[in-house]
């Protein structure tokens, strides 16, 4: 079975389950080519110094930006790994790096989180095919406390009150990343912004033509009925509009895709 063979003929790339509302997410611009990976290290990047490329830590996460269709492998080529499909910027412009290794020929390979089922979906790709960028940002979602905590360089910047999945349709747990950030009318059910995640519902495998993708979004209209701090959604994570506006403005719309989101 191929890990990811998604080809979209239209601009709509994803459908989120957000408390009964279907949200079509439009494809962002593709990432631009830039610095690559050499000997397992990133070329000099502002704020990153000579930090080694690898999986996310409390202080730094690496994002792999796609600038074209990129081959995916299950395992490392030359060491028993086989090609299992491909991924494009329309699937996700930036992917979270989970691990980085060199092969015997000195080539750098990256294991990345994929925006497809299952929620732990991951594959390897060549670092020569992406642009690497570090990020000091990460989000932590607590289903028990119903909060989203924003971290920068390992330190708490702000803790935001949220609505999480109801008992029958819980927000899935695990390590995910943001796929993209899309504006929405503030008075719409999903509020002013929708942040698509690589997460998928463990309960709703199909939802209004989509595969049950989960996101973080604002609150408006009928979405205001459920108070912050409750468990009432179909799996999405709802924030106050002012909170998600702050998040997008602080991190930057272009800086959000690919950053880690840990849900516990």
Q: What is the pLDDT along the chain (264 residues), one digit of tens a residue?
A: 233 333 332 233 345 666 444 444 444 443 333 333 443 344 434 444 556 789 999 999 999 999 899 999 999 887 888 999 999 999 999 999 999 998 888 788 999 999 999 999 999 999 999 999 999 999 999 999 999 999 999 999 999 999 999 999 999 999 999 999 999 999 999 999 999 999 999 998 765 556 789 999 999 999 899 999 999 999 999 999 999 999 999 999 999 999 999 999
- Strand, helix or coil for residue 127: helix
Distances (CA, A) of 81 to 38, 96, 108: 21, 20, 14
Does residue 153 share a domain with residue 113?
no
Does residue 190 lie within any of the structural domains? yes
Does residue 121 share a domain with residue 185?
no
Does residue 232 lie within any of the structural domains? yes
Does residue 95 lie within any of the structural domains? yes
Structural domain span for residue 192 = 137-263
**SS3 of the chain: helix, strand, coil, percent, to 5:** 10, 45, 45
Distances (CA, A) of 219 to 21, 163, 180, 194, 195: 12, 10, 18, 10, 13
- Structural domain count of the chain: 2
Q: What is the pLDDT of residue 83?
A: 95
Structure tokens at 14: 């994803």
Tens of pLDDT, residues 178-189: 999 999 999 999
Does residue 253 share a domain with residue 154?
yes
Residue with tokens 């940002």: 137
- Strand, helix or coil for residue 42: strand
Peptide linkage before 118 cis (omega within 30 of 0): yes
CB environment 188-212: b (16+ within 10 A), e (fewer): bbbbbbbbbbbbbbbbbeebeebbb
Mark which of 132, 160, 189 sits at the end of a domain: 132
Does residue 84 share a domain with residue 199?
no
Does residue 114 share a domain with residue 81?
yes
Of 211, 185, 13, give the one whose Cα is nearest residue 93. Answer: 13
Mark which of 85, 112, 132 sits at the end of a domain: 132
CATH code at 84?
Answer: 2.30.30
Does residue 224 share a domain with residue 148?
yes
Mark which of 132, 154, 173 sits at the end of a domain: 132
């Amino acid at each position: 079975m191929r890990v990811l063979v998604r080809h979209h003929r239209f601009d709509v790339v994803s459908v989120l389950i957000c408390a009964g509302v279907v949200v079509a997410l439009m494809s962002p611009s593709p990432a631009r080519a830039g610095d690559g990976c050499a000997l397992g290290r990133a070329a000099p990047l502002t704020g990153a110094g000579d930090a080694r490329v690898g999986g996310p830590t409390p202080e730094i996460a690496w994002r792999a930006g796609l600038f074209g269709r990129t081959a995916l492998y299950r395992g490392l080529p030359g060491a028993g790994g086989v090609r299992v499909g491909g991924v494009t910027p329309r699937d996700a412009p930036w992917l979270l790096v989970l691990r980085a290794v060199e092969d015997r020929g000195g080539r750098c390979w990256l294991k990345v989180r994929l925006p497809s089922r299952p929620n732990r979906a991951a594959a390897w790709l060549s670092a020569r095919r992406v642009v690497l960028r570090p990020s000091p940002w990460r989000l932590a979602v607590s289903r028990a406390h119903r909060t989203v905590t924003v971290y920068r360089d390992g330190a708490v910047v702000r803790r935001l009150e949220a609505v999480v999945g109801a008992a029958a349709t819980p927000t899935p747990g695990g390590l995910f990343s943001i796929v993209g950030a899309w504006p929405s009318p503030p008075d719409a059910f999903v509020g002013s912004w929708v942040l698509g995640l690589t997460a998928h519902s463990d309960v709703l495998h199909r939802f209004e033509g989509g595969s049950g993708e989960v996101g973080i979004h604002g609150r408006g209209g009928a979405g205001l009925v459920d108070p912050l701090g409750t468990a009432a959604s179909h799996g999405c994570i709802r924030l106050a509009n002012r909170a998600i506006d702050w998040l997008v403005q602080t991190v930057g719309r272009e800086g959000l895709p690919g950053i880690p989101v840990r849900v516990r």
